[in-house]
Amino acid sequence: MNNETILNAYKRYAPVYDWVFGKIFHPGRQAALDAMNWQTGDQVLEVGVGTGLSLPDYPADVTVTGIDLSKPMLDKARKRVKDDALSNVTLHCMDAQKLDFPDQTFDKIIVLYVLSVVPDPYQVLAEIRRVCKPGAEVIFVNHFSKENPLIRRIEAGLARYASGLGFQPDFPLQPVLDNVGLEVQEVRAVNMLGYWTMVHGRHVEQP
Ligand SMILES: C[S@@+](CC[C@H](N)C(=O)[O-])C[C@H]1O[C@@H](n2cnc3c(N)ncnc32)[C@H](O)[C@@H]1O
């Protein structure tokens, strides 16, 4: 996968994204927003905000910055921000692998169904570590490869179609946890049949 294949995939998904992935992914979005220990005035970054399905559910007293690589997805998010008068939300077209924010900017970072979609998820993790303030809370929701050997085999078989699908089906959790730079507080199954996982942690200073 590279940014071009991702952009092509999400250009195709954008018109139908909310219809296909709105409800099915909603419990994971809600779990992430419910798990955060919100404080008035928090600076929040949502990485890969897509069509902005989560945006109406943020507390009104936090400031949300949403970024996404795909303009057609962001156009949908911009319409939602306007229609719902979400004055606490700002959106930018930006690559999560090269965030255009200074070090230590955000109190909270949320990444919903994005890590297995980017070409280099470990670069995204490094950028998140850079832009979050010391002690910031970070939540990922993603599908990670399952232990079940049959499912593993299916996912490994699908991996060769990752570019066309626009996501990497064969994506294990442990290397992410090893690279995340967080004190992990909770790892919990979410969504239908617990097929997706929420990882909730707090940024720790690197030695
Ligand atoms: C599966 S969608 C998830 C959208 C949204 N977070 C949700 O909850 O529905 C993945 C999103 O990640 C975005 N994305 C992919 N690669 C990216 C990158 N390098 N930087 C920023 N966004 C990216 C895609 O454009 C798409 O909007």
Total domains present in the chain: 1
Q: Choose one of 1, 44, 68, 122 to mutate for the ligand 1 pocket test, by most ligand atoms within 8 angstroms of C-beta.
A: 68
106 domain residue, yes or no: yes
101 domain residue, yes or no: yes
Predicted local distance difference test score (pLDDT) of residue 137: 97
Compute, in angstroms, the gap from residue 117 CA to the centroid of ligand 1: 7
Predicted local distance difference test score (pLDDT) of residue 109: 98
> pTM for the whole thing?
0.92
Dump pLDDT digits (tens) for 34-85. 999 999 999 999 999 999 999 999 999 999 999 999 999 999 999 999 999 9
Question: C-alpha distances in angstroms, 58 versus 6, 110, 117, 157, 199?
Answer: 27, 11, 23, 38, 18
Dump pLDDT digits (tens) for 11-22. 999 999 999 999
Compute, in angstroms, the gap from residue 165 CA to the centroid of ligand 1: 13
> What is the span of the domain harbouring residue 177?
3-200
DSSP for 46-93, written as a single string = EET-TT-TTGGGS-TTSEEEEEES-HHHHHHHHHHHHHTT-TTEEEEE
Q: How many CB atoms lie within 10 A of CB 46?
A: 26
Closest residue CA from atom 27 of ligand 1: 50
207 domain residue, yes or no: no
Compute, in angstroms, the gap from residue 24 CA to the centroid of ligand 1: 16
Q: How far separated are the first and last CA of the chain, in Å rounded? A: 33
Q: How many CB atoms lie within 10 A of CB 128?
A: 23
Compute, in angstroms, the gap from residue 200 CA to the centroid of ligand 1: 19
176 domain residue, yes or no: yes
Nearest to 143 by CA among 119, 176, 120, 110: 176
154 domain residue, yes or no: yes
Output the CA angle 173-194-3, nearest 5 degrees: 50
Tokens coding 53: 């399905």
Contacts for 177 with CB less than 8 Å, ≥ 6 apart: 184, 187, 199
CATH code of residue 59: 3.40.50.150
71 domain residue, yes or no: yes
Closest residue CA from atom 1 of ligand 1: 113
Name residues contacting ligand 1 (CB within 6 A).
Answer: 6, 10, 21, 25, 29, 48-50, 53-54, 67-70, 73, 95-97, 112-114, 117-118
The Cα–Cα gap between 146 and 50 comes to: 25
Weakest mean pLDDT among 59-63, 132-136, 201-205: 201-205
Q: What percent of the chain has pLDDT over 70?
A: 88
Does residue 174 surpass a pLDDT of 90? Answer: no
